[in-house]
Structure 1
């Protein structure tokens, strides 16, 4: 009887140690960013990889409508994402902006909006479907209605497609295309520039007022009103500038560094 009890005790101890080891392994993966929270069903199926593969254009390829990992409860960048953004920012070249001469949104970056991922839907509808909730579509692509919580202000907006209502929700280029043009995009190929203009990492559905206020501003001249989102916003800018081999102007670099230091 005593021997039987000892065997049962040893078995229970072994099981406990196995469970403990598995839990520790899961914690380690989460701490390194391999595992991370996602914000919605679209993120669960398309979350961007930490080390994306390169395409034929030489640009790191995102998954469709992807975003960097954010905290599901607050919408802010995770510690791992902030650390990665700081490291990428430290590696970005810093120099003055080139002249804006020759900038032409359609001529240099393609018409708005293309279907660069060839899924049958244009980029605007892809982003609306990703960022809005309770969407209603006409067919497989066209988003007719939905609800947006603008990441730039926290305001809730009811989106209704129409000539006078669609502009309440706009798609912002996180790295503005004119800024990209003046910080290295002039050296990119046409395909690369079109990829940049339609890259889901560089796009958010936002309130039209914020998009108009921002214009072509960089981090030094404009930041989202919602301070809790600024870390995520700047992390996206740094990731996009890195992926497309762009540089940052001195004031832009310093402003990005200040934001990331406060995250």
Structure 2
């Protein structure tokens, strides 16, 4: 068997050349490392060169600078004091951020707040209660028809037509025959012509419908006061017939005019009528009215609305002071010991609905506990 000897220097050969080769490779690598180190030093020198000698650039606003403890001698090599020797060793320097450009609270503009309008204040004064029943409602029997309040041969309907239409003509001075209506409910222009087939195109609406008035307190009014309410010019408007039909007996929570620009004025009239005749509003009705008035904070409460003149007619028109005003209703007083066995008895006596605190009210009759019994 042939034996292969362990590799070793051949006899008589010097291993130095191998070491010399390794050393040579190391020497070649040294300049490369030195070159990189010198480059890093040059970069540091360039970054500090922008700072003027002997000055401290100071901390960046909004940062916290910590100065490490240093020997008591602050001199650098060469005996020249360092520019950072003014900071106390071990101290923390906090630099406040740059001042904001936002105005101080005292510099902010103050927006003037207008006081509540008379319409909104009157709404707040109206009592809130649930609506009564319409099971006993009979419009003609309870409120009557049109009357001639000033004896000038024009009934209330024709007085309102003469007031609200323009270009009115009348053959006899007692009835409006033709005219032009700028309808407040729809914004449309309607040419009115009296006749069986055309008169219904323009109707006179009770802004607070008589049905709504009945279920919100009108049942407590005297018959004369109910007739006054039905003929009060404050509560009457000449309007588009179909729009009036869609409104029917609904309050503001159920119906507002298609012409939303008139909603504020309509709601203000309803509030004025309910205030004049001591009627109440339901909670949904009050909410709807308040929402409408929020869009017109300056809406005022209307006063008496005078009738207009009819060209060639006998009516001279009425000033606001001369408009027939319904007398302020007097609250119906019942004996202190009044007692109704049930709501049927209260309705038969014409006292329903019964409000909490009034004679005849009992919690047993107020099934839903809302303060209104036998509604």
| Length-normalised TM-score, structure 2 | 0.48
Mapped pair 1:164 → 2:212: no
Aligned residues: 183
Evaluate the alpha carbon distance shift between residue 117 and residue 98 of structure 1 in structure 2; reply closer, same or farther with a 3 A threshold: farther
Alignment RMSD: 1.4
1:115 to partner: Cα distance: 1.5
Q: State which of 138, 153, 163 in structure 2 corresponds to 1:104.
A: 138
1:51 match: none
1:96 to partner: Cα distance: 0.1
1:115 match: 148
1:153 match: 186
1:187 match: 220
Q: Is the 8 A contact 1:116 1:195 kept in 2?
A: no
Higher RCO (CA 8 Å, separation ≥ 6 residues): 1
- Greater fraction helix: 1
Gap runs ≥5 in structure 2? 1-113, 297-375
In structure 1, distance between residues paired with 2:174 and 2:119: 33
| Length-normalised TM-score, structure 1 | 0.68
Mapped pair 1:124 → 2:145: no
1:103 to partner: Cα distance: 0.8
1:102 to partner: Cα distance: 1.4
What are the Cα deviations for residues 182-222 of structure 1, in whole angstroms up to 9, with x where unaligned? Answer: 00000000110001101111010000110011010000000
In structure 2, distance between residues paired with 1:209 and 1:129: 20
- Report the structure number with the largest CA radius of gyration: 2
1:252 match: 285
Mapped pair 1:223 → 2:250: no
User: Is the partner of 1:118 in helix, strand or coil?
Assistant: coil
1:197 match: 230
1:142 match: 175
User: Is the partner of 2:266 in helix, strand or coil?
Assistant: helix
1:159 to partner: Cα distance: 0.2
In structure 1, distance between residues paired with 2:152 and 2:266: 26
In structure 1, distance between residues paired with 2:151 and 2:124: 34
User: Is the partner of 1:143 in helix, strand or coil?
Assistant: coil
What are the Cα deviations for residues 95-131 of structure 1, in whole angstroms up to 9, with x where unaligned? Answer: 00011121111100012x1113433310000000000
In structure 2, distance between residues paired with 1:184 and 1:117: 27
1:227 to partner: Cα distance: 1.1
2:210 match: 177
In structure 1, distance between residues paired with 2:283 and 2:149: 32
Q: Segments of 4+ in structure 1 off by > 2 A?
A: 116-120
In structure 2, distance between residues paired with 1:256 and 1:109: 25
1:209 match: 242
1:93 to partner: Cα distance: 0.3
Mapped pair 1:83 → 2:155: no
In structure 1, distance between residues paired with 2:282 and 2:238: 26
